[in-house]
A and B are shown apart, each in its own frame.
Chain A
């Protein structure tokens, strides 16, 4: 019944943005997970000093024997700079999971589905989007993704591909600080007007998942309640600047 620590082997490392990197963790004994869940990671020094952090799983459960995590490098942090600067394929890391049973969506729960992300808050939502595609679901789904600038959009190319698949997945970006020439997406922080536009085609039976900094999640959750979504259909996950 206990969730035991397992040894994962890092099998691939990929840069998503200049400050965000994904790690593929090979886990032969992985029991599977639900999209939205996380793992705990433990780093231990030779003298026994150890630290733990939680990271959302980015990959879909259909991927057997491995999970992907996506880590933003927090300057001055203890764990994320180590993962970025030291960890290479072949290294082994202790992990345990999956953990968390509420901020979870799978195709069997139905939709329509609204995913709202700020920055690296996109990670657990990406697991849901990847699962939806991989499971062949055609549940109407929309993602509203807030990033600071064009170079900071995590998973940008893959999100473009998912949105081009023609299976009912739509992505809207907003860039809050810097927009490239010719930008046609939103160019401001998420507000109630933006939420109203994004949710309109989905309707009031939507299941909404929001993950990001506290201010964004508060705005989104309160806004969706005012737009008529029942509070029990709004699930939130937050991270502050302390998730180092």
Chain B
């Protein structure tokens, strides 16, 4: 539609107040197009919540690397971690500003595995069979981390615990819950939602929601 359609009698509930922790201008700047702000943490998943006992949990880096790596839960918790405060946007339209996580940078996980020169994509895979694909350029340089705490508490199973990938610059389906590893590949490979009509890249500020956006 080239000419903008106007919905009869729609004004909207503008949130322009310059009060609170941040002003209306900053809230608008940080809210991607088509999104609304929430302070809740809605849950969306396609099937039952997997529950893998921690003594059988591991996180692996495999594929096009010289030294594949794998950590038990204790080993993973012993890796250098940091606190992150990031804005999260879900393709179902909610955006939650300043979500507080603790986790391990993907850069840290990739230290010492020696990426093959042909390595270009990371396929995150999870308990329950979920997968999502990301160009390495979207996850390196501190753009992605594996979180195990949210808001100062262990990450709840329905939110992806014990550990989930978090990629704040992409719609939240790229932040794979219940992550068990990254497979490094030369070729791209659409993941679960990317094969079911959702956008391959998912940049929320470009509103890349669905295939063809």
Contact = CB atoms under 8 A, between A and B. Distances in A.
Contact of B7 (A40, A45, A237, A239): A45
B201 to A, nearest CB: 14
Nearest to A214: B43
Contacts, number: 118
Range, interface on chain A: 35 or more
A81 B6 CA distance: 18
Interface string B1-38: 10011111111111000000000000000000011101
B6 A242 contact: no
B210 A99 contact: yes
A82 B197 CA distance: 29
A43 B13 CA distance: 12
Nearest to B51: A222
A8 B209 CA distance: 21
Nearest to B213: A2
Contacts of A7: 1, 5
Most interface-central of B50, B129, B209 (chain A CB within 10 A) = B209
Contacts of B36: 51, 78, 244
Contacts of A52: 34-35, 93
A241 B10 CA distance: 23
B210 A78 contact: no
A241 B196 contact: no
A201 to B, nearest CB: 22
Interface in A163-219: 214, 217-218
Nearest to A240: B42
A178 B164 CA distance: 40
B43 A46 contact: no
A86 B9 contact: yes
Interface string A36-67: 00001011111011111110000000000000
Given A5-B1, A52-B34, A101-B196, A44 B47 contact: no
A231 B42 contact: no
A92 B1 CA distance: 14
Contacts of B4: 44, 48
Given A45-B7, A242-B40, A221 B212 contact: no
A78 B48 contact: no
A222 B45 CA distance: 13
Contacts of B14: 49
Contacts of B40: 240-242
Most interface-central of B14, B45, B128, B212 (chain A CB within 10 A) = B45
9 tightest A-B CB contacts, nearest first: A2-B212, A101-B196, A221-B48, A1-B212, A52-B34, A240-B42, A214-B43, A78-B13, A43-B7
Interface of B: 1, 4-14, 34-36, 38, 40, 42-50, 92-94, 128-129, 158, 192-193, 195-197, 209-213
12 contacts: A45-B11, A46-B6, A52-B35, A53-B93, A86-B10, A100-B196, A100-B197, A102-B192, A232-B129, A235-B46, A235-B47, A236-B47
